[in-house]
């Protein structure tokens, strides 16, 4: 019985290890090596002390007690309507930006694809024709943003007198006394 020779150097920290899961084995075989050298990152974020209960999609910027996903969607007060309009407007703004960037990226990728004959002569026009639909999606998100802002403005204009009555209280009594110097 013979024993294998002793290693001459101590193992170094961060030395590549053989993949353990079947998915990693497949990925390492695709990369051409037996080792998976790509680092894996996992991130767990706990925003607040919720004791493991779901937060119903409310973030720190949304200080609303609604159980639904959209704040103010029960429309019980003018603050609810304002919160709803502001939420929809902000969401649409973010989506419009993302969709516009996606449309530009799609067009850039499609420009690099030659036609069936291998010619690049019409690739820009074809890419523009295809990405035009994605640009329309981005324009629709901008329209949603615009109409959400218009919704609250129109609400205030139409119900302005009613809101003033509610804001002052139920009874409007005249407590003025005539002015005198004595």
- Per-residue pLDDT tens over the stretch 95-111: 999 999 999 999 999 99
- Examine the pLDDT at 88 and tell me if it is beyond 90: yes
Residue 142 DSSP label: H
Q: What angle do CA 13, 17, 18 make, to 5 degrees?
A: 175
Q: Are the C-beta atoms of residues 139 and 132 closer than 8 Å to each other?
A: no
pLDDT band per the 50, 70, 90 thresholds, residue 161:
confident
Region label for 8, one of left (φ > 0), alpha (ψ between -120 and 50) or beta (otherwise): alpha
Give residue 84's pLDDT: 93
Least confident window among 10-24, 46-60, 79-93:
46-60
Give residue 62's pLDDT: 47
Tell me the pTM.
0.51
Q: What is the mean pLDDT of residues 30-45?
A: 50
- Which residue is it, tokens 């009555």? 165
182 CB-contact burial (10 Å; exposed 0-12 / middle 13-18 / buried 19+): exposed
Q: What is the mean pLDDT of residues 112-141?
A: 92
Q: Please say whether the dihedral angle defined by the alpha carbons of residues 7, 10, 12 and 13, taken in this order, is positive or negative.
A: positive
- Examine the pLDDT at 128 and tell me if it is beyond 70: yes
CA pair distance 105, 120, nearest whole angstrom: 18
- Examine the pLDDT at 92 and tell me if it is beyond 80: yes
> Which tokens go with 36?
């998976």
**Distance between start and end Cα atoms, the chain:** 122
């Amino acid at each position: 019985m013979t024993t294998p020779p002793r290693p001459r150097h101590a193992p170094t920290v961060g030395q590549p290890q053989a993949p353990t899961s079947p998915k990693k084995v497949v990925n390492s075989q695709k990369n051409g090596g037996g080792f998976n050298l790509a680092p894996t990152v996992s991130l767990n974020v706990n925003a607040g002390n919720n004791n493991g209960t779901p937060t119903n999609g409310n973030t720190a910027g949304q200080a609303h007690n609604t159980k639904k996903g959209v704040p103010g969607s029960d429309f019980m007060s003018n603050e609810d309507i304002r919160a709803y309009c502001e939420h929809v407007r902000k969401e649409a703004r973010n989506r419009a930006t993302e969709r516009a960037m996606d449309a530009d990226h799609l067009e850039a990728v499609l420009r690099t694809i030659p036609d069936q004959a291998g010619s690049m002569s019409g690739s820009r026009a074809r890419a523009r024709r295809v990405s035009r639909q994605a640009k329309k999606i981005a324009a629709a998100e901008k329209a949603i943003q615009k109409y959400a802002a218009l919704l609250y403005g129109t609400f205030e204009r139409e119900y302005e007198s009613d809101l003033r009555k509610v804001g002052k209280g139920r009874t409007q009594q005249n407590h003025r006394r005539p002015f005198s110097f004595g």
